[in-house]
Amino acid sequence: LLMPLCVSLFRLKDLEVAKLGDSDVRVKMLAAPINPADINMIQGTYAILSPLPTVGGNEGVGEVLEVGRHVAALKPGDWVIPAVTGLGTWRTQGVFPEETLLKVPSDIPVLCAATLSVNPCTAYRMLADFETLVPGDSIIQNAANSGVGQAVIQIAKASGIKTINVVRDRPDLPKLVERLLALGADHVITEEMLRKPEMKDIFKSIPKPRLALNCVGGKSTTEMLRHLQPKGTMVTYGGMAKQPVMVPVSAFIFRDVRLRGFWMTQWKKEHAQDQESLTSMMEALCQLIRRGLLTAPACTEVPLQDYKAALEAAMKPFTSSKQILLL
């Protein structure tokens, strides 16, 4: 029911571009993805809701066309991505205050830049901020084929960290397993396998994970938690099953596991005065992209006028390809 309703809320309209203020930047948008959070905002189930009518899209990349006379850090030709949530990136052009934009290098592929500010940043922070991981350590994650999941696999691989990647069983499972292994996954298993005795075989070659990344909730989480080391941490950053996180009491008492949450928007808010942490993360990610160690997630490029088809595809189950609007 939500799917047709969601799509019917959108119109493609021609609007006047706002006048350029002294601290504003006029941007020609190049490409913008459709993320689960964008869909949740449309459905009214996200923590941030824009006053209506509004332009959809929280992520994307654009080229600076013109800057106001007080703008110092940006110039025409620069590439920019949103520094804040709710910018409204599903448009061909926009005028934005300078502080809502972040300059990115224009020598990285456009799809990498368009998908840089949410998923890779989320993956980077979760790997860095909760447990001190060293080469040889392992992590476990569900929804491993999601945009964040794919970034986690590649960033972990570049740091020498082993990954156990959990995906839902599906018709094209062998193809998906092959794709994740090609990205650098060490193990790819289905949710059903989490319960099986064969899991012990995995831990013959790698240590039990100190960190679990949860984007699903429900049974998947409980099963994943069984394999976490004592005093390990599980970080929840999504809830695709729309079910609560269930934790056996024994996991708390006898293994002292920690449960944490992560939301990139909140991290950006908390670090708004700490530009250094944001720029050093972006530099590290762009460096990985340049070295071919971090690629854009599997993408389907869709012209803006076909936005309805793109929205519908983004809401289908088992999609392993991110819809990217070409603007």
Domain of residue 301, CATH code: 3.90.180.10
Catalytic positions, written as ranges: 46
Question: 156 with 123, same domain?
Answer: yes
Among 244, 264, 284, where does a domain finish?
264
Question: 152 with 71, same domain?
Answer: no
From residue 200, how far is each of 12, 185, 193, 205, 229 by CA, in Å? Answer: 53, 18, 11, 10, 13
Distance CA(151)–CA(32), nearest Å, equals: 18
Question: 105 with 137, same domain?
Answer: no
Is residue 31 pLDDT above 70, yes or no?
yes
Quick check: 95 and 18 in contact, CB under 8 A? yes
Q: Is residue 228 part of a domain?
A: yes
Number of compact structural domains in the chain: 2
Question: 314 with 234, same domain?
Answer: no
pLDDT in tens, 160-205: 999 999 999 998 899 999 999 999 999 999 999 999 998 999 999 9
Q: Is residue 92 part of a domain?
A: yes
Domain of 310 in residue numbering reads as 2-116+297-326
Question: 138 with 93, same domain?
Answer: no
Mean pLDDT estimate for the chain:
93
Question: 92 with 143, same domain?
Answer: no
Query: Mean per-residue pLDDT for 285-310?
Result: 94
Distance CA(17)–CA(5), nearest Å, equals: 28
Question: 127 with 218, same domain?
Answer: yes
